[in-house]
Amino acid sequence: MEFHRAIEAYTVHLTVERGYSPQTVRAYRSDLHALSTFAEGRQIVDTEGLTLDLLRDWLWHAAQNGVSKATLARRSASARGFSSWATREAGGQVDPAARLRSPKPDKTLPRVVNRAQMSGLLDALAAKAAEGGPEEARDLAVIELLYASGIRVSELTGLDVDDVDLERLTVRVLGKGSKERVVPFGVPAKDAVVSYLRTARPRLATARSGAALFLGARGGRWGSRAVYQLVAGLLADIPGGGPAGPHALRHTAATHLLDGGADLRAVQELLGHASMGTTQIYTHVSTERLRESYRIAHPRA
């Protein structure tokens, strides 16, 4: 099957049959188009020309061009899934990517904002919301809810008004793989959301708003890119390594929960992780923070 036609058919398979999120499907499509371009440079234009050597060569060239290990691991997964699907579609017996190995990604700890910094950030947002317009009230509600619940930015922007239960202090989100879960949040987040719903959302709403909880300046559902820009701007002046987007608030929420004595499995359920192994990185973060505190505070450290 010709590469581009196969890629489109495969992404439909990922969306309809596997239930992959739009973000994951876009990433896989991008990876596979990069593979097809590489293959066409070697006069291979269809999936029948896929070989293990070709796939290894593709990953090797990407590594030489400075592609990160995490991206190489994803590209390897994209290629294995695509090759397996194409082999089944063609009625073949041998999958050329079956022995393709993923490079192990570098072990880096996620970015975490400490409690004092987080309190200062929220206090500053609250002051702006008290004096500003509907956008400032929305921004405070967004950051309070992200930090309080640890939900993903895509889960936040997908919320409708009815997904928030202000009596039970819970929010119903649709996570990866279209899995629904109910996540608790605290009173400060409730207060910020109530204020936004009462005074700000009605001023932002238009005929196109529908049931969306968080709205942009033109009344449409607020998107992930806008939330990323908001969080990145807020974290720009706070020291720390790693990406400064909304996921940093998810990392922060999880780490602060564990620092406060929360059970690891409870944190796993809150975050919607399918594997305990994904959640365990936060125990490493907490250990590093403990070690740093020990170095600073103990006279014989």
Catalytic residues, which ones?
152, 176, 247, 250, 273, 282
Q: Which amino acid is at 37?
A: T
Q: Regarding beta strands 170-174 and 164-165, do their DSSP bridges make them parallel or antiparallel, or are they unpaired? A: antiparallel
3-state secondary structure of 104: coil
Residues 6+ apart with CB under 8 A from 163: 171, 172, 173, 213
The residue whose two tokens read 């279209």 is: 178
Measured distance CA(298)–CA(9) in Å, rounded: 60
**Can you say whether residue 91 is alpha, beta or left, with left for phi > 0 and alpha for psi between -120 and 50 degrees?**
left
Q: Which has the closest alpha carbon to 32: 72, 2, 3, 66?
A: 3
Handedness of CA 177, 182, 185, 191 (dihedral sign): positive
Question: Are the C-beta atoms of residues 137 and 195 closer than 8 Å to each other?
Answer: yes
Q: Regarding beta strands 170-174 and 180-184, do their DSSP bridges make them parallel or antiparallel, or are they unpaired? A: antiparallel
Question: Are the C-beta atoms of residues 73 and 107 closer than 8 Å to each other?
Answer: no
Structure tokens at 252: 């922060």
Question: Are the C-beta atoms of residues 71 and 65 closer than 8 Å to each other?
Answer: no
Compute CA distances 245 → 224, 231, 232, 284, whole Å.
Answer: 10, 5, 5, 21
Measured distance CA(56)–CA(51) in Å, rounded: 9
Measured distance CA(122)–CA(183) in Å, rounded: 21
